[in-house]
Structure 1
Amino acid sequence: MRAVETLLVVLAVLSVQENATSKGPIPGSPQKVSNNDPRVRNAMLIGIYAFNNQSNDKFLFKVSHIKDAHIQIVKGIKFLLEANISRTVCLKREPSPDLDKCNFQPLGKLHKIFNCHFEVWAIPWKHWMKNIFFMCHP
């Protein structure tokens, strides 16, 4: 009898899950967004600024490839970003460097790429964005 009750509970849970996912995305869950979305590009810039401010590297890094982007609605918009970032030829000590004008390091000793996960929180109606988390590894 216990096995039948367990089976019924499992079937009920699966049925509820099926209904929830068949009606569209679950509110508050991360949703895929285009890597080329201008909001994603802005969030990525905030993330790379945070990385550059906290790294001990002499050179600036910039995004070489956005691999994946999701947004989550949470008292604003939370961007969940996966990207490759690469070392540039621009030194940190240069005043107000424009990352768009910084070329990547050529292949060789100084060439370096990190795989990174960034989480950036935005409150668009306040024109506010902040990097809340990042983790990078070679």
Structure 2
Amino acid sequence: MMGNRRLLLVCLLIALEATSLAGHLIGSQNDLDKNDDGFVKLVSFAECVYNRISNDLFFSKILSNADATKQVVEGLLFRCDFEMSRTVCRKKDHVGNLRDCELQPEGPLRQTFKCHIEVWERLWLQDTRIQNFHCQDEINPDDKESFPDGAAPSSCRFLR
């Protein structure tokens, strides 16, 4: 009996060492590489959700300085911090590719937000939930916008 417990303990220690040698502990947050497919989809998803939910007359797009992490928690929990900036493209004009929209020039219509989104993905259920999404104006920090948690707009797809 004592031999089985020692064997189990040794196996657990080896598994723990192997995961820490790989640089990741089970359940820990891990940075997503900007070239990772999950990172690209997360940023596009966040941009889509923001533009569908905000009441702004103009589309906004994510600036290039986004950071994201991934964590295994009964599925995958993605977290992303990014900056959004208002473009010159109006939502009523149904723009085909947001990348073709220029940012607003300096002036009263120029607005940039620091945003944070958390997305919980459970592939086996084909379920993607927004756990937390809020943005804060860089110039007027008291100007904050929070979006409701829950299911993402159906037009914004994240599932991989």
TM-score with structure 1 length normalisation? Answer: 0.72
2:78 equivalent to 1:79: yes
Aligned equivalent of 1:117: 116
**Do the aligned residues in 2 keep the contact of 1:46 with 1:120 (CA within 8 Å)?**
no
**Do the aligned residues in 2 keep the contact of 1:31 with 1:70 (CA within 8 Å)?**
yes
The runs of 5 or more residues in structure 2 that have no matched partner are 1-15, 138-160
Q: Measure the CA separation in 1 of the matches of 2:77 and 2:54.
A: 23
**Do the aligned residues in 2 keep the contact of 1:46 with 1:130 (CA within 8 Å)?**
no
Deviations 1:2-53 (A, max 9, x none): xxxxxxxxxxxxxxxxx98965432112111213322111111111211112
Q: Write out aligned runs for 1:1-138 (5 A).
A: 24-95=23-94, 97-124=96-123, 129-138=128-137
Deviations 1:69-97 (A, max 9, x none): 11011233221101011101111112353
More strand, by proportion:
1
Q: 1:42 to 1:130 in 2, by over 3 A?
A: farther
Aligned residues: 120
**Aligned-residue identity in percent:** 33
- The root-mean-square deviation of aligned C-alpha atoms, in Å, is 2.5
Q: What amino acid sits opposite 2:112 in the alignment?
A: I
**Do the aligned residues in 2 keep the contact of 1:46 with 1:129 (CA within 8 Å)?**
no
TM-score with structure 2 length normalisation? Answer: 0.63
The runs of 5 or more residues in structure 1 that have no matched partner are 1-18
> Which one has more relative contact order, counting CA pairs under 8 Å at least 6 apart?
1
